[in-house]
Chains A and B, each alone.
Chain A
Amino acid sequence: MTAINLNESSVRELNEKLQSGSSGDQFSVNNTVGKHALSVGLTSEVNVVINGHVGYYCAGMNQQANIVINGNAGPGLAENMMSGEVRVTGNASQYAAATAHGGLLVIEGDASSRCGISMKGVNIVVGGNIGHMSAFMAQSGCLVVCGDAGDALGDSVYEAKIYVRGEVKSLGTDCIEKEMRDEHKKELKELLTQSNMSYKVEDFRRYGSARKLYNFDIDQVDEY
């Protein structure tokens, strides 16, 4: 286990060490005091434990690495992640997993607004609530919310799937509630298990695209 203290090392030194790690290496990062761009651009199956609150873009563009943040995360957590797993024990600020293509992001606390904005295949599981405009223009992947969802959920969603257990304050344009079929229940159960969230699949509802905005139709002009 390599410990890196941000009182002594710079963010550049931290990222260089983590980016050149090999599969199975263990790292712990301390004295984070809200610094930005920590543990970004990792490319191998290293294990990183970050102790403290982090600033913007922690775990940005993550590939393969396993990252745990014991604290809160600032905006853009795991943005554009490609694979691997990121878990935050506290809350995540806005834009969590923005445009991410793969991997799993688990937020044990709450996520702020625009969670999963423009997501492109990532799976996100939030133990608490999510803020407004979440899953905006979400293209693919799954967003699982164990708490409540804020205004305009899934506005302009494409094919991403949204599962919510609590209340949805309001739905965004072209986002509707959909039937939970066996394949959805299976998918949801897998995600809850993977993320260690012990909730029952039956308590969730599914939301997705009504697909009315896919090609321009003059009768939908009010939606624009």
Chain B
Amino acid sequence: MSKKLLALTGNDAAAYAMKQINPDVVAAYPITPQTSLMEKFAQFVADGESNTEIVLVESEHSAMSACVGASCAGARVMTATSSQGLALMWEIVYIASSYRLPIVMPLVNRALSGPINIHCDHGDAMGIRDSGWIQLWAENAQEVYDNLLMAIRIAENSGILLPVVVNYDGFIISHAIENMYLYDDAEVKKFVGEYKPKYTLLDPKNPTTFGSFDLPDYYFEHRRQMAAAMKDSFKVIGDVAKEFSKICGREYKNLEGYKLEDAEIAIVALGSTVGTARAVVDELREKGIKAGILKIRTFRPFPEDEIADALKKLKAVAVLDRADSLNAVGGPLFDEVRGALYRKSAIPAVNYVYGLGGRDMGFPEINKVYADLAEIAKTGKVKDLVTYLGVRD
């Protein structure tokens, strides 16, 4: 295992991953805050450090469409986007997964319009949570890089063949510089291996139709296949992480607990907020407060049982959502975590919708959550099921 320590932004890290993966085709369209990822990768190609065929399409919808076409042609394909770009390609995102194409996409999380906002928010990723894409979440630049490398192997597994999106916070991760390790080119190349598609457009001896037409007598079965693949992907995600640990020195899991084993109160969160919360938890622990964190890395497939198990010893849990479901209940992560707890646990679970449109989530806000949790743990009573944290009331 050999690695090099560099100071990189999250977008740089993603670009390096793409360079080392060296996909056959990348079709992409720029959008803030993904842009510098695309630019860095384009420079690698312009300088011959990668010989990927880049298709500079005229919109994100065409980006994912070209990715579908390329993937049907048996190519290893990647793209990247954010927010409105994802919203525009939404139609084709569903097609990519239902055609069982192993496309890998960094998604630089940004708020959805309107009003237009270019800052960090998880609304974009949540919008495709039912699309059949495997969804991984990165906490920092290292995790962006590591998850992208693993994503190729997960997606292309012949028993899975579902596309994978790797989420990371716009600006907070994408543009902030952090120390991180890059692995040796040859080791990465060996790890990602070659893509061996079962079906391709490009074999004249075996002409194949992709994207056929289903009447009610066929559609349901095609969707049932996807459900099975998503369920089967837990094992593959685990196997790939195990194999990858030989290169990166760490075995990624679906969940990561921080000071959770003996915690009485904890938050559940995605992305960079976990990083901030770690520092808050350290402070609270100094004061003797048994605070912890459950970080979710694998959001799709949703590790329901693991989550319920991880939280079962707590006296109270707060789910942090950087998106709102606007369902008159709360945020999407709350919805799913609460579902995981249903019938398995009676612990009070509350929701904090925070950070929308890049509103900062810092020490004061996270401390407030733990203070509220301590109150719930003490009294057993929940005052507010859902709190909009950080908004001006």
Instruction: Tell whether A and B belong to one assembly.
Output: no
